[in-house]
Amino acid sequence: MSENGDGFGTSAASERAREAALRRLVPEVRTALNNAPDVRAWPPSWDDDERVDYFYHSSSVLTRDRDLPRVRDVLRELGAWRDEGGDTLIGGVTRLGVNVRESQHTPDVVEDLDRRLGVGVATVDHAFVVTGYLHCPATEPEPVITPAAAADPVVVRDALWPSVGDPSAGRDVGVSVVDTGLLSGASAWAPWIEGVRPDTSADIEDPDQIKINAIEHEIVGFADPYAGHGTFISGVIRCIAPASDIVVERILGVAGFARESRLTQQIHDALARSPDIISMSAGCYTRKNVPSLAFQTLWEERLSQVGGVVLVAAAGNQSATTPFWPAAFPWCVGVGSMTRDGQRRSWFSNHGAWVDVYAPGEEIVNAYAHMKYKTIVDGEVRDTSAGIVEWSGTSFSTPIVTGLIAARMSRTGENARQAADALLAAARSQFRPGIGPRLFP
């Protein structure tokens, strides 16, 4: 194993993983877009360029209510105004429908608004995605035990990483997991998640909704590319903080996308249950790297007013320094990934001054859908039907930090903000050049 100046390994295994992720990009994004007809990737030549700067919902823009008259007037001048009133969101943000001229795209309309009103007065309604090499987790799920071995609870518990900790850790701590939903009946093969529950019946996940994969082979009976993501994350939190009270909310649809505007509304609604921690392994890059308007407003109008609540979010998996939102906000705990031993930053992890902490995010083992998986590019069938897999990504370092906050809260009596601040201080004391502040389960 060699190490480059950025602190992550350049082993043959890492290079193979990076190459596999790049091969997945175009077919996986194409499959996702085919299942989300109003979502677009920018630039329009993304498939030829093999690069996606950001995803957005077509024919709509966001603006603060105080700027609405100005935005409306310019849209009328441009012939782009759609007179349908708009949708008023939390904190005085409105989503407006716009008419896009032939040969143009919604970002072109926003570019015109930028020139006349200033950058950020109006933005596209970004599409948030399960964090991964642009779309999915950094790796695809790998089986770690056979279905026959899964009948032995000792074998199952020994396979978990992180392993199940102090049964009292996380007691009286409420966690909201905003993700793909919860697999029905998963506690039958993953008993450590017993008591984790969906918010409503609509938050139960169907793991096999995409019926055709990117190379147009039928995959009925195989788990979707990100299926079980929310259940896996809940399981990781429960391993670190077994007594935590976890509610799962399904915000990511069949293609793995969620509207920026709808996602913030969901978090706003979740606050009515008074969670201590919100764990979110989805995020987005934005047009011109302007901070997410809906999330900034959520903070100003709601989150900042709720004492002690912490949002923990994944930093993304493009091995880039480009801000990934909401993790890049200073009020959010942004989590990057490192190897299990904490000696190197993961090859896929985003990094930079905006990432608050790094935790292990490679070869994490936890609960999964009770079905097989077919890989995106070559159609390899993996027998993951034991319902326990190994997965890598900042998606999975995030619940480790969430669990550590919950465990500390129950141990010290601190609120989530105090516990997070104390852990981040401890992480800075374990700073490693080439990585940054580190936390271990």
Q: Nearest-CA neighbor of 7 among 340, 439, 436?
A: 436
Tokens 């031993």 -> residue? 341
Calpha distance 120→359 (Å, rounded):
33
Q: Is 142-429 a CATH 3.10.50.40 domain?
A: no
Alpha carbon separation from 177 to 34, 150, 151, 185, 257 (Å, rounded) = 27, 26, 28, 17, 16
Strand (E) or helix (H) holding 237: helix 229-240
**Residue 54 · residue 285 · CB < 8 Å:** yes
Domain ranges in the chain?
A: 24-128, 142-429
Longest dimension (CA), the chain: 68
Supply 185's token pair: 């009946």
Give 35-89 pLDDT, tens digit per residue: 888 999 999 999 898 889 999 999 999 999 999 999 999 999 999 998 776 787 7
Q: What is the pLDDT of residues 320-350, one digit of tens each?
A: 999 999 999 999 999 999 999 999 999 999 9
Q: Rounded to the nearest 5°, which phi and psi values hold at 45?
A: -90, 25
Distance CA 21, CA 6 (A): 20
Judge contact between 343 and 303, C-beta under 8 A.
no
Closest CA to 256 of 210, 215, 287: 210
- Looking at per-residue confidence, does 102 or 113 come out higher? 113
What long-range pairs does 77-84 form, CB within 8 A, spacing at least 24? Answer: 78/109, 78/112, 80/109, 80/112
pLDDT in tens, 139-183: 889 999 999 999 999 999 999 999 999 999 999 999 999 999 999
pLDDT of residue 89: 75
Instruction: Please say whether the dihedral angle defined by the alpha carbons of residues 350, 353, 356 and 358, taken in this order, is positive or negative.
Output: positive
Cis peptide before 291 (omega within 30 of 0): no
Query: Whose CA is closest to 209, among 197, 224, 225?
Result: 224
What pLDDT is attached to residue 138? 78
Q: What is the pLDDT of residues 119-135, one digit of tens each?
A: 999 999 999 987 554 44
- Rg of the Cα atoms in the chain: 21
Nearest-5° Cα angle at 426, 420 to 428: 105
pLDDT at 386: 97
High-pLDDT (> 90) share of the chain, %: 70
Q: Cα(400)–Cα(397) distance, rounded to whole angstroms?
A: 5
- How far is the C-alpha of 149 from the C-alpha of 46, rounded, in Å? 43
| CATH architecture of residue range(s) 24-128 | 2-Layer Sandwich (3.30)
Beta-bridge partners for 22: none
**What string of DSSP letters covers 55-95?**
EEEEEEEEEEGGGHHHHHHHHHHHT-B--S--EE-GGGEEE
